[in-house]
Structure 1
Amino acid sequence: MGMAGLVAVLGLAVLLPTDAVPCGAQRPDNSTASKLLGTWLYVAGAAQFPQHRVEMLLIDHAYVRLEPGAAGQELLISHYVAVGDQCFTNNLTYLEVTAGNATLVRNAKTQQIEGMLMNMSSENLLLIQYQMQRERTYLGQYLYARNLGISSAEREEFEQHAECLGLRAEQIVYAPWRTEVCQVEEAEGSNSPHPEPVAAVTASPAPGTPWPGSTGN
């Protein structure tokens, strides 16, 4: 499936009702949005179907950058994904943070729900769960962190979330981070200790280019 097809699948997908998600969706408070701002490094993904695991294997490294949106508790999500010798970018989604409700990932154009933020033990970890249904249910989750030095306990926590979804250890792919195609440097004029991603080579996505979280049936 090409990149356009992957994004289109997410745009058409419908998240299952919150009651159908047993693995602990986050219930944010008023401080959640500010805690999520900044750069998150892609650590690993877990996908239900073999073809999606193959797509994740193409990713060397990736980032997401969360910035305040124009409307209240919305956080804009900018994706940076390194595949081969190119760094691809995408900003089609945002987080909707509402007190007393789940923190949801929405498509900026269709306004349809694509994912849900999940509870983790550390504020330095960001976990998004996808549980979507078209002809069949698609399950997946993607782990991001403030830095790549996550502990074995944090890895185990991620793997337990995957197991809660019915995903096995062999369905998890950790990003190797072998190259520096999508460079990271400090944002100018920023007091944030977290690095800002910079696309060293920005291009239109090639056919078959996967995004963490952008896989469909």
Structure 2
Amino acid sequence: MAMARVAAAVLGLAVLLPTAAFPCGALHLQRPDNTMASKLLGTWLYVAGAAQFPQHLLEMLLIDHGHLHVEPHAGEQQLLITQRVAVGDQCLTNNSTYFEITTSNTTLVKHAKTQQTMGTLMNLRSDDVLLIQYQLQRERTYLGLYLYARNLSASTAHREEFEHHAKCLGLSKEEIVYAPWKTELCQVKEIEEENNPCTEPAAAVTASPPPGTHQPESTGS
């Protein structure tokens, strides 16, 4: 029961605010074009996270692996995000968030019911990686940064770029956690079969999302 409570806390939705300006010239918002929606579709594997909020840092240490799956939702401006994350012996799922590609040339992560902005897609030099910045308001503003990739062979350059962005936001190396991927509890092929029942299953791979409202589910090996 204790692990279940911890697992639920890992992905508890926080009230998050839009990204603010930071004194780092290399840090930019992702500027979407007409191909942005198609570039975001499909499965993204969780590589690493960085967080200032102590509870989120602890939660990231408990995550083994996870992934997010992006699919069309309401035209090309909104893309549904389905997330899975493995904590202990549980695979937790959330589909309450979506990407919104806005007319102001930013891509936001928003909560499906409240329409609150939870994060912003940041700019990286490759279409094979995603960098999402979050802000959590408590007694002060806490920052979070999450790195995803199309596969687990994210290059050294991509990791260095992620760490550079984290440093720009005032996040130290001690606040960065890379997912160990020791198990295959959450399998991508299962979520792709659920979202696309007529398609053939994909290879079994996994990764982890930022905090969200997840509920436990039973998974096969």
Q: Which TM bucket (shorter chain)?
A: 0.7 to 0.9
How many positions carry a matched residue from both structures? 199
Q: Which runs of 5+ in 1 are unaligned?
A: 199-210
Tell me how far 1:5 sits from its aligned partner. 9.1
Residue 93 of structure 1, aligned match among 78, 85, 97 = 97
State the match for 1:57 in structure 2.
61
CA RMSD across the alignment: 2.7
Percent identity of equivalent pairs: 59
Are 1:39 and 1:195, in contact at CA under 8 Å, matched by a contact in 2? no
Tell me how far 1:197 sits from its aligned partner. 6.8
- Give the AA of the match of 1:7: G
Query: Is residue 141 of structure 1 aligned with residue 138 of structure 2?
Result: no
- Give the AA of the match of 1:13: L
Equivalent-residue separation in structure 1 for 2:75 and 2:132 (angstroms)? 21
Query: Is residue 106 of structure 1 aligned with residue 138 of structure 2?
Result: no
- Give the AA of the match of 1:160: H
Superposition TM-score, scaled by structure 2 size:
0.80
Superposition TM-score, scaled by structure 1 size:
0.81
Residue 70 of structure 2, aligned match among 66, 84, 96 = 66
Tell me how far 1:138 sits from its aligned partner. 1.1
Query: Is residue 13 of structure 1 aligned with residue 25 of structure 2?
Result: no
- Give the AA of the match of 1:213: P
Are 2:30 and 2:123, in contact at CA under 8 Å, matched by a contact in 1? yes
State the match for 2:211 in structure 1.
214
Tell me how far 1:30 sits from its aligned partner. 1.0
Equivalent-residue separation in structure 2 for 1:133 and 1:145 (angstroms)? 27
Equivalent-residue separation in structure 2 for 1:127 and 1:75 (angstroms)? 16
- Give the AA of the match of 1:28: P
Query: Is residue 166 of structure 1 aligned with residue 163 of structure 2?
Result: no
Equivalent-residue separation in structure 1 for 2:54 and 2:136 (angstroms)? 17
Are 1:67 and 1:76, in contact at CA under 8 Å, matched by a contact in 2? yes
Tell me how far 1:4 sits from its aligned partner. 6.3
- Return 101-110 or 43-52, whichever deviates more: 43-52
| Alpha-carbon distance change, 195 to 38 in structure 1, aligned in 2, over 3 angstroms | farther
After superposition, give the CA deviation of every residue in 1:164-214 in whole Å (9 maximum; x if it has no partner): 10001111000000001012337565599x75779xxxxxxxxxxxx7321
Tell me how far 1:61 sits from its aligned partner. 0.3
Equivalent-residue separation in structure 1 for 2:205 and 2:95 (angstroms)? 13
